[in-house]
Amino acid sequence: MRVRAYLSLGSNLGNRAEHLTRAVTELLKSGSLAAQSAFYETEPVQLLAQPWFLNCAVALDTLLAPGELLVACLAIERAMGRLRSQAKGARVIDIDIALYGDFVVETPDLVIPHPAMHERRFVLTPLAEIAPDAMHPLLHKTVRALLAELPAGQVVRKL
């Protein structure tokens, strides 16, 4: 069964735009690209002493099960040189599954919808560009509504 997954991508090391573009190209091995947002420059959250990020969102129509898509995303990160040396630290590439159809997944390795997506402007802004009416299956709110409810804060600039 083909499912539309929404992925959030970010990079804050090296040529950030090149890293995002390469990751999106690699994701095409896991499905077909239905939409891609513009790139957004975003200030870091939680760990502030690091370079600003470049973020985007993609809609990927895939036949992969959620766990298989996670394995594919982690393989892309590894192939691109992602090192997980510091939690929330700088990274060449980060690929998160924000939504996977209307599925709810809770395993030790994977939680969908992404447990913090509704709190992150750097996820919701690009996602609202390509899927404003996508529904959060637990909060029963659209991406547009979740973005509108965020308090002022993190800087997110469309490039």
Label residue 80 exposed, middle or buried (CB < 10 Å: 0-12, 13-18, 19+): middle
**DSSP code for 98:** E
The set of catalytic residues is 82, 91, 94, 96
Cα angle 87-93-98, degrees, rounded to a multiple of 5: 80
Check: CB of residue 30 under 8 Å from CB of residue 23: no
| Beta-ladder partners of 61 | 4, 32
